[in-house]
A and B are shown apart, each in its own frame.
Chain A
Amino acid sequence: AQSVTQLGSHVSVSEGALVLLRCNYSSSVPPYLFWYVQYPNQGLQLLLKYTSAATLVKGINGFEAEFKKSETSFHLTKPSAHMSDAAEYFCAVSETGGFKTIFGAGTRLFVKA
């Protein structure tokens, strides 16, 4: 069965600092992996997705994530945090040929001035 674990329900960084949001997955088949962002009172917006084409995936707003099969991880990073990055971030997994997307519990990112 698929599952996603996001380490840390809350992460706080200073503006300009590195953002690192951790995600580990479990899947019996090669997975498709996603990072979404959700701002208050809004739906989810896709940041980036891994579909086996390249292990380092670049997304919108300067975010990127690296797929590491040996560590079953797909951590999200951004070199320099901006105040506008404050939001909730969700890691998600979907199996090849599957129809369901399984979401992690989410990590709320706080950015301090």
Chain B
Amino acid sequence: KAGVTQTPRYLIKTRGQQVTLSCSPISGHRSVSWYQQTPGQGLQFLFEYFSETQRNKGNFPGRFSGRQFSNSRSEMNVSTLELGDSALYLCASSLGRTAQGTDTQYFGPGTRLTVL
């Protein structure tokens, strides 16, 4: 069974631009979560989608948004990029049968975003 895939793996943007990251979950998984990982702040939860609906959201500004399609693939968008948005963005998928806390999450390799 194929794992979680994220595209692109590396991305370089300049301040003020916007970016879209993609995540394809493991087949059969309906929940996709997004995390931001930086050296200073560590791993921080962005949001979680289940069956095309955002179920929960972390403490990030509205510039960070996401969506999920009917095939469970998810995209994350960051508008008006800032230098501080440079990070590794990880997505994780799970079956989503129960609350996230009880369901094993499988992580993708991440997308490394650099903002210049």
Contacts and interface: CB of A to CB of B under 8 A. Distances in A.
Interface in B17-61: 33, 35, 42-45, 48, 55-56, 58
B66 interface: no
Contacts of B48: 99-100
Given A43-B107, A43-B110, A46-B105, A99 B56 contact: yes
A101 B107 CA distance: 13
Contacts of A99: 48, 55-56, 99-101
Interface string A10-48: 000000000000000000000110001000011111100
Nearest to A43: B107
A9 to B, nearest CB: 10
Contact of A97 (B33, B99, B107, B109): B99
A103 B46 CA distance: 12
A90 B43 contact: yes
Given A100-B48, A101-B33, A95 B101 contact: yes
A113 B90 CA distance: 32
Given A43-B90, A90-B43, A32 B107 contact: no
A44 B35 CA distance: 11
Interface residues of A, number: 25
Contacts of A44: 90, 92, 107
Nearest to B107: A43
Contacts of B4: 43
Nearest to A104: B42
Interface of B: 4, 33, 35, 42-45, 48, 55-56, 58, 90, 92, 99-102, 104-110
Interface of A: 31-32, 36, 41-46, 49, 51, 90, 94-106
12 contacts: A36-B107, A94-B101, A94-B102, A96-B99, A97-B99, A98-B99, A98-B100, A99-B100, A99-B101, A100-B58, A101-B33, A106-B42
Query: Which 8 pairs across A and B sit closest by C-beta, in order of nearness?
Result: A94-B101, A43-B107, A99-B56, A103-B43, A44-B107, A32-B101, A99-B100, A105-B42
